[in-house]
Amino acid sequence: MRRIIWLVLLLFLTREAQPIEIKSISVSEVDRLFGYGADHADERQALELVERALTDAPTDYELLWRAARSYYYVGEGAAAKDRLKYYELGIEVGHRTVATNPESVEGHFWLAANYGGYCREKGGLTAFRTIKRVRAGMETVLQLNDGYEEASAYLALGEIDRQLPRLFGGNLKRSIAYLERGLNIAPTSSEIKCALAEAYLKANRKVEARRQLEELLQLPLIARVNENRRAQEKARRLLANLDKK
């Protein structure tokens, strides 16, 4: 009788441990596949994997924020007609992530990032009304961990202030301040350098803009290959325009 009880207990413990093992495997595989959008097929596979894992552990924070991250990058690489649905799914799971662990940075960052993608796709008045959610989320990221994802919260806030009209809350001086602080934390960030150069150009600070663009083009394409390549392509266009003047 005692032996039967021990066998039943062993089976119970094995069943209880299984979701933890599955989650551990899923997280490591998702992280292996993830590449900031470098390979769309890998990003889709990572998303499918994390979605399956969430069916067994729907409130697991580590899975939730990775799902929000994957929705953002799969949306970014999707066809124009499909992008919005991925950002909307990212917003939904991002809210669940923040509700699960409101004091951790990942949920706030990827929720705000998906709102940013949503704003880009919707445009117009909807974007102007929604952009405050991006700003609020990224300001929370600064409070929790301002160096997260290569200080990308400073990049987002700087771009919001540079691109928005003053009537809707834009502020060029504040934009430059955000981007300069971000660059102090992540001095090799191609995206921040490019955004700061654009802000300097808008402020008619052409010498400083040129310096940022030329330094950007010397940076190696190691991590975030797609994002860094786009920044370098834009830098070349901006330099070409400067040379014409």
With a cut of 60, say whether residue 85 has pLDDT above it.
Answer: yes
For tokens 């951790």, the residue is 104
pLDDT of residue 224: 86
Overall average pLDDT of the 36-41 stretch: 94
Residue 153 CA neighbour count, 13 Å, CB half: 24
φ, ψ of residue 216 to 5 degrees: the values are: -60, -45
Residue 116 located in a structural domain: yes
Residue 82 located in a structural domain: yes
Residue 87 located in a structural domain: yes
pLDDT of residue 19: 47
Q: For residue 89, what are the contacts with CB-CB under 8 A and spacing of at least 6?
A: 71
Q: Give which of 205, 142, 132, 124 is closest to 170, Cα–Cα.
A: 132
Overall average pLDDT of the 191-213 stretch: 97
Whole-prediction pTM: 0.89
Residue 203 located in a structural domain: no
pLDDT of residue 223: 79
Domain span at residue 102 reads: 28-145
pLDDT of residue 81: 96
Residue 69 located in a structural domain: yes
Residue 230 located in a structural domain: no
pLDDT of residue 17: 42
Lowest mean pLDDT among 4-13, 92-101, 183-192: 4-13
Q: Give which of 183, 117, 175, 176 is closest to 150, Cα–Cα.
A: 183
How many domains does the chain divide into?
A: 1
Overall average pLDDT of the 96-100 stretch: 98
Whether 236 and 218 have beta carbons less than 8 Å apart is answered as no
Residue 65 located in a structural domain: yes
215-231: per-residue pLDDT in tens?
Answer: 999 998 877 888 999 99
Query: 40: domain CATH number?
Result: 1.25.40.10
Q: Enter the DSSP assignment of 104.
A: S
Residue 162 located in a structural domain: no
pLDDT of residue 24: 61
